Structure 1
Amino acid sequence: MLAIAGLVSASALASAASAAPAAHAGSLGPKVIQTNQAPTGYSVTFRYQAPLDVQAVHIYGDWFYSRPEAVTCQDCGDGRPPAQWQPGDVPATPWRILPLAKGADGIWTITVPLPSGTFRYAFTHDCASPLATGCVLHDDPANPWEVQPQYPGAPGAVRSRVYVPNSKKFPTYDNAYQAPVKAARAGTLESRRYTSPLSTNPAGVHDIVVYLPHGYNPSRATPYPTLYLSHGSGDNSIAWTMQGVAQHILENAIKDRVVQPMVIVSTDFNGLPGGNQGYANELRNNIIPFVEQNYRVSPRAEDRAFGGFSAGGSRAFTILYDNTDLFAYHAAWSWGGPAATPAQIDRMKAVTGGIHIGTGLQDRLGNIAENSQLRVAALRAAGVEVAEYNVNGVHTWDVWRQMLDNYLRNVAFRATTTSLEVDTAPAGQSSNVKVTAIAAVGAVTTGGASPSGRADFYVGDVHLGSAPVRGGVARLHKTVRDGLDGPVVARYRGDKLFNGSQSSPEDAAG
């Protein structure tokens, strides 16, 4: 087992070694500055040391903006730099380069005003393309990703990232859910390699990144639930933790006490034959067995969730439609999805956890925004329950981080079931009856916590009363005038960790 928090890539070390003269390490890298000035209230100063023979250095970052209505096609929009950010903007593509200035000390510097959020960036040397087309991207040696690509030729350029808070004076986006938590609350990341007879690159083995929550206990009595994530085209297994900051999103939800601790597995679909179904086979035959053999996670499908975006969203639909049994919770983001067959509809109706589908509303790549909404409408019309979550945005990580946060806080591992028993007895010599209604409320996922809160009891639209849920049971004792005139239904309200549920109507016995 290799814990890799804090590793520096060989390429980063080589880049630092070739730069001269050496600068003090503390003077390099990004510095987040609270300016309390328009337009965003914050800026970031980047200080970078390039090799002596470099004549020009630019920074390449995902911080260009557009009004949503201006995004009429893929890569269309205003394309304004961060200094021109406006309220209501969405992060848009394509990225462009911004020039750094070389100081008397030989250090290249730029200060960029930025709204709140997580930003990726890299440096170019003597790049003439405004979009950095054909230029080599260099990560920041003073601020490298904690996990580097795990095999030679892994897709995705090496970059660095920085988080910017939201300004109270000049509020931009509520992205606090992406902020790194204090070390005392942080979990760990592990780079793992497992045997994969299906893999062609690397041959015979494949890679995942595993996140273990703070306080992970390999001997815990209750096994942890597991969230499996897929990247999109052009990325690999490090994407969800390095670019998507899935670990920070989860840790903030845990801090807010709306999510239970879980293990996250970030997968890699590159080098696996068979397309979407080949990836599903890899999950079933290799990834899930490896994780369940090496970590204290549950082997139950009810305790597993999946999510993927873009090309990973395409795989998510294949898993949802044709490999439904692998997971109780499914999420497909930024992908329209094919039409479902009657057999696929029946499988989705039987999902015990939940289904989450969403997109950026300005995602014009292959008309994803429209197709995703049409797919949800079709599934609902067929009787499939879907939690839909759409936001302003294009085909970018800004959207996918929001998707994951909403999935964790509203769907994944939150499902409950409610069953009901009802008894009646005469109340003296009158026509009134004593009603005893006992609702059993249980979690679909066995993550360690139990549902709490209250359950309400109804006859039709008439509210009989409510009772607290204690030890998974809510008991209502009530005398009803002239008796019950229909079946009773129990409705669990839900709490911070669990969603509500409703029992089937039950006629009274007795």
Structure 2
Amino acid sequence: MTIRAASAVLSLLCLTESASVVIRKTSQGPTGYEVDFRYVNVTAKRVLIGGGIQPFTDQFHTTGTSFRANGRYDPHDYQPGDFYVSNPSPQLPAEPAYRWPYEMTQSEDGIWTYTAPLPSGIYSFAYLVNCNYAPNCSIDTGHLVIDPDLPPFMNVQGDQVASSFQVPFDPEFQASPEINTNFDYALAAPKEHRGTVKTVNYTSPGSIHPEPDVHDFSIYLPAEYGSVSGKKYPLLYLSHGAGGNGADWENLGRMSHIMDNLIRVGHIPPTVVVTPSFYNLEADSPRFIYGNKSNNVPVPPAQVVRENFEKFLFPWVEQHYEVCQNASCRAFAGLSMGGVLTYEMFVNATDKFDYYGMFSPATNAPYIDAASVSANPGLLRKGIMVAYGLYDFVFPQARELQTALDAVGIRYINRVTPFGSHYWNTWQDELWWFGQKVLWKPLPFGVQTGRQGRRLPVS
């Protein structure tokens, strides 16, 4: 890459002797942007880019989760309307008819490079060194390498195993009449509108990570926070899913950017966001460390997590931050198993939150019924969003949840992400629309709820 080109890029980091990722605006097809990966390893025999980055598909060659047999495209073959779905990298060369597109090439001096014309979206990745299948690659053996110059957002070392970057949208090359895949709402807001995000350790008796009797969460504080004396801010709890932790929403989803933009364009007032971790809460449970698949640590029961959060997390946050302490300005949302936890909060902590976001919820029967509502009529007066992707493997479960809510007369907002699978582009979309259409809107919801709201202009 020339020095002149480097001066015109949206650069995530400077080129170094170890690794770099640079996003370049090309103003040329197929996407208007190219992403350059550079990684130095003089002993590697083969390097793939995996750990989250995906091939592409389109709506006309994809049905449900059968995309593995259809429309698995190299990004160099991108056409407007294409999008990526959760599609784990194949075990190479177990699929000789299919070539994993993200393979780096080596120059004589041991520098590995790869360039792809990626469209708008969030991309997580790690380098797979001398390893053909991501689930078989590990950090301990050196087969999975996190970009050393683009470290992930995390609490302690080992809490995340992938870095990420966000590519802008170019309407000249990416606009499609079939589908809108503009994710610019997850790009960084202007500096004066940016909040802060950090990890926090708090006292949690019985917890086992990161230390005995200490647990962790990440917190987003809006740009305005601390500038208005005595002001209490609306509070959103946002949960990760199975196999994740509280840093996921920031590292893999750019939660702070989405919140900055929701606030900047006036969809919501300045709001504090807490993203807790639901593993490692009990001394007698096995320790979960992100990416350590050999443990097969089960997801703790939602009831156990709820009771722990009510006893330790919620009071600690209220004591240490200027946040609202009544249901009208508090919300709980989560993805996948975090959606199950959200449903648990809705049913059994009804008086603590007025707003609930169930994103790709992995819920199962039994659901609430008429007797449940009779015993807890507050269930009818909440602001709920049920959201999932059109290609999401929990699609049937989410629909069953909606059927149960319909059966007892509970109103809710529904979002079916048209390009969505069980992955972060879906959950970015759902958080964005949750902020626009649900958070802090008048209750109870009616037929006009969600019909108002401003759209973030294309940048």
Q: TM-score range by the shorter chain?
A: 0.7 to 0.9
User: What corresponds to 1:342 in structure 2?
Assistant: 370
Q: Is residue 140 of structure 2 the alignment partner of residue 150 of structure 1?
A: no
Report 1:25-44 matches (<5 A). Answer: 25=16, 28-44=19-35
| 1:369 corresponding residue in structure 2 | 395
Greater radius of gyration (CA):
1
What is the identity percentage for the equivalent residue pairs of Structure 1 and Structure 2?
Answer: 29
Return the alpha-carbon distance in structure 1 between the equivalents of residues 451 and 74 of structure 2: 44
1:162 aligned residue (161, 165, 188): 165
User: Offset of 1:104 from its aligned partner?
Assistant: 4.5
The amino acid of 2:274's aligned partner reads V
Q: 1-side partners of 2:449 and 2:369: how far apart?
A: 33
Quickly say closer, same or farther: Cα 1:24–1:320, change in 2 above 3 A. Answer: closer
Matched, 1:85 2:86: no
Q: What does residue 314 of structure 1 align with?
A: 340
In structure 1, C-alpha distance between the alignment counterparts of 2:333 and 2:107, rounded to whole Å = 46
Following TM superposition, by how much is the alpha carbon of 1:235 offset from its aligned partner in structure 2, in angstroms?
Answer: 0.7
Partner of residue 409 from structure 1, selected from 413, 424, 436: 436
Superposed counterparts of 1:459-474, under 5 Å: none
Which residue of the partner structure matches residue 11 of structure 2?
none
User: CA deviation digits over 1:190-228, x for unaligned, max 9?
Assistant: 211111124244431110001111131176333001110
Matched, 1:215 2:224: yes
**Which residue does 2:10 correspond to in 1?**
none
Asked if the contact 2:240/2:249 (under 8 Å) is kept, the reply is: yes
Q: Which has the higher contact order (CA 8 A, sep 6+)?
A: 2
Say which of 426, 430, 447 aligns to 1:399.
Answer: 426
Question: TM-score w.r.t. structure 2 length?
Answer: 0.79
Q: Partners in 2 of 1:345 and 1:82 — Cα distance? A: 49
* Contact in 2 for aligned 1:231/1:311 (Cα 8 Å): yes
User: What's the CA shift for 1:380?
Assistant: 2.0
Q: Is the 8 A contact 1:236 1:268 kept in 2?
A: yes
Q: In the TM superposition, what is the alpha-carbon distance from 1:132 to its structure 2 partner?
A: 5.7
Q: Which amino acid aligns with 2:426?
A: V
1:137 aligns with 2:150: no
Counterpart position of 2:62: 70
- CA 1:344–1:90: 2 relative to 1, 3 Å: farther
Task: Quote the offset at 1:305 in angstroms.
Answer: 0.5
- Asked if the contact 1:336/1:373 (under 8 Å) is kept, the reply is no
The corresponding residue for 1:57 is 47
Please report how far the alpha carbon of residue 398 of structure 1 lies from its aligned counterpart in structure 2 after TM superposition.
1.0
Deviation at 1:376, TM superposition (A): 1.2
TM-score by length of 1: 0.71
CA contact (8 A) 1:352 1:415 kept: no
In structure 2, how many angstroms separate the alpha carbons of the residues matched to 1:86 and 1:287? 46
Alignment RMSD, CA only?
A: 2.7
Report the alpha carbon displacement of residue 188 of structure 1 after superposing the two structures with TM: 1.0
- The structural deviation recorded for 1:302 is 1.6
- Summarize the Cα distance change of 1:84–1:149 in structure 2 as closer, same or farther, 3 Å threshold: farther
The Cα of 1:350 is off from its aligned counterpart by 4.3
Structure 2 unaligned runs (5+)?
1-13, 90-99, 176-180, 283-299, 455-459
Of residues 105, 119, 123, the one that matches 2:123 is 119
Does residue 1:282 correspond to 2:304, yes or no? no
SS in structure 2 of the partner of residue 319 of structure 1: helix
The alignment covers a number of residue pairs equal to: 394
* Partner AA of 2:205 in structure 1: P
| Preserved CA contact (<8 Å) 2:383 2:443 | no
Runs of at least 5 residues in structure 1 that lack an aligned partner in the other structure: 1-22, 418-443, 445-490, 498-510
State the 4+ residue runs in structure 1 displaced beyond 6 angstroms: 491-495
Q: Output the CA distance in 2 between the equivalents of 1:307 and 1:493.
A: 17
Deviations along 1:357-390, whole A, 9 cap, x unmatched? 11112112xxx21221232133123210111111
SS at match of 1:389: strand
What whole-Å deviation, never above 9, does each CA across 1:98-137 have from its counterpart, x for those lacking one? 22122345422110110101111111211233x5633532
CA distance in 2, matches of 1:66, 1:25: 34
Instruction: State whether residues 373 and 380 of structure 2, in contact with CA within 8 Å, keep that contact through their aligned partners in structure 1.
Output: no
CA–CA separation in structure 2 for the residues paired with 1:24 and 1:65: 28
Contact 1:324 1:348 in 2 (8 A): no
